[in-house]
């Protein structure tokens, strides 16, 4: 084979290798982008990824020095051998280690210090719970806190709570992501996660369920939550049924229009589906 032929073969082989490598890179990027937000958020449940706060205990390892422990004081600092107090509140243990490394270098104690800081007993992480729960507020969380744990701390959900709530979590860029979670352990929701752990700064929002109102000749007028694919007949049954004076054939539904404060009144059949905000009225029988 001539020298020119060998060069051609070499360029062809290089071209094929470059194409394969490019395709592989594109596929890997696509797979990374396809990871769901919940999976990415769950990865940050690692305590070492959480920012330190007042009251947290940490372990400090400096190669060549005895191990030490410290806690984040009210001023947001930890006490480090040789260099004294170092501010760490609001940064992760890894970032705190980098800050201690710099202080040891700047102080002339080490040329190339090797520092590791580990959160051993985080106590400052809190998540907020708002909406349809017995007690709204901020509650302590750890990497093992589940939806059930946090809702139990809030006293449980109200009867008017929706089946699906939302965890509001800020990403590294400060953008708030909304992740649907199941807050009704009796009913599963395909669109909501049931396996979720919380980190400090999370906000669990439990919205109200879709409601309908029923009045007139029923046993227990009032407002009730709408069950999946609930019919008018089921709504009437939920309100205790029609009284002796009422008529199943004289049922009206007052339904919201797109414009605020505007409704339209419909003659309802018992098999019609109930919509959020419907006002069902069972009238008296004419005979």
Separation of first and last alpha carbons in the chain:
108
Residue with tokens 């009238």: 283
What pLDDT, on a 0 to 100 scale, did the predictor assign at position 169?
85
Give which of 84, 89, 60 is closest to 74, Cα–Cα: 89
What pLDDT, on a 0 to 100 scale, did the predictor assign at position 186?
57
Residue with tokens 């404060």: 261
Q: How confident is the model at residue 271 (pLDDT cuts 50, 70, 90)?
A: very high
Residues 79-110 pLDDT 10s: 999 999 999 888 889 999 999 999 999 999 99
Element (H, E) at 221: none
Residue 39 has pLDDT above 80, yes or no: no
d(CA 127, CA 279): 37
Residues 40-87 pLDDT 10s: 344 345 657 778 877 788 899 999 888 988 888 878 889 999 999 999
Residues 189-204 pLDDT 10s: 555 666 777 877 889 9
What pLDDT, on a 0 to 100 scale, did the predictor assign at position 29?
38
Residues 216-255 pLDDT 10s: 999 999 999 898 899 999 999 999 999 999 999 999 999 9
Q: How confident is the model at residue 145 (pLDDT cuts 50, 70, 90)?
A: confident
Residue 148 has pLDDT above 70, yes or no: yes
Q: Chain-wide mean pLDDT for the chain?
A: 80
């Amino acid at each position: 084979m001539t020298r020119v032929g060998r060069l051609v073969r070499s360029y062809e082989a290089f071209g094929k290798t470059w194409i394969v490598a490019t395709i592989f890179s594109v596929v890997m990027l696509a797979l990374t982008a396809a990871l769901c937000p919940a999976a990415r958020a769950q990865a940050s449940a690692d305590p070492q990824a959480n920012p330190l706060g007042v009251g947290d205990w940490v372990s400090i390892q400096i190669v060549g020095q005895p191990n030490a422990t410290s806690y984040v004081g009210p001023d947001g600092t930890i006490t480090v051998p040789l260099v004294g107090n170092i501010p760490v509140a609001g940064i992760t243990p890894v970032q705190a280690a980098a800050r201690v490394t710099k202080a040891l270098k700047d102080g002339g104690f080490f040329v190339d210090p090797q520092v590791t800081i580990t959160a051993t007993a985080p106590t400052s992480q809190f998540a907020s719970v708002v909406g349809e729960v017995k007690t709204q507020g901020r509650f302590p969380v750890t990497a093992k806190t589940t939806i059930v744990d946090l809702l139990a701390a809030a006293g449980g959900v109200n009867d008017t709570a929706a089946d699906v709530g939302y965890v509001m979590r800020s990403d590294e860029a400060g953008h708030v992501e909304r992740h649907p979670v199941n807050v009704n352990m009796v009913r599963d929701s395909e669109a909501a996660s049931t396996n979720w752990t919380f980190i400090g700064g999370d906000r669990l929002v439990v919205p109200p369920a879709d409601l309908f109102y029923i009045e007139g000749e029923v046993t227990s007028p009032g407002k009730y939550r709408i069950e999946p694919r609930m019919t008018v007949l089921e709504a009437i049954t939920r309100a205790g049924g029609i009284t002796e004076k009422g008529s199943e054939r004289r049922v009206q539904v007052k339904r919201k229009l797109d414009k605020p404060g505007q409704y339209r009144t419909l003659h309802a059949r018992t098999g019609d589906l109930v919509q959020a905000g419907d006002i069902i009225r069972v009238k008296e029988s004419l005979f």
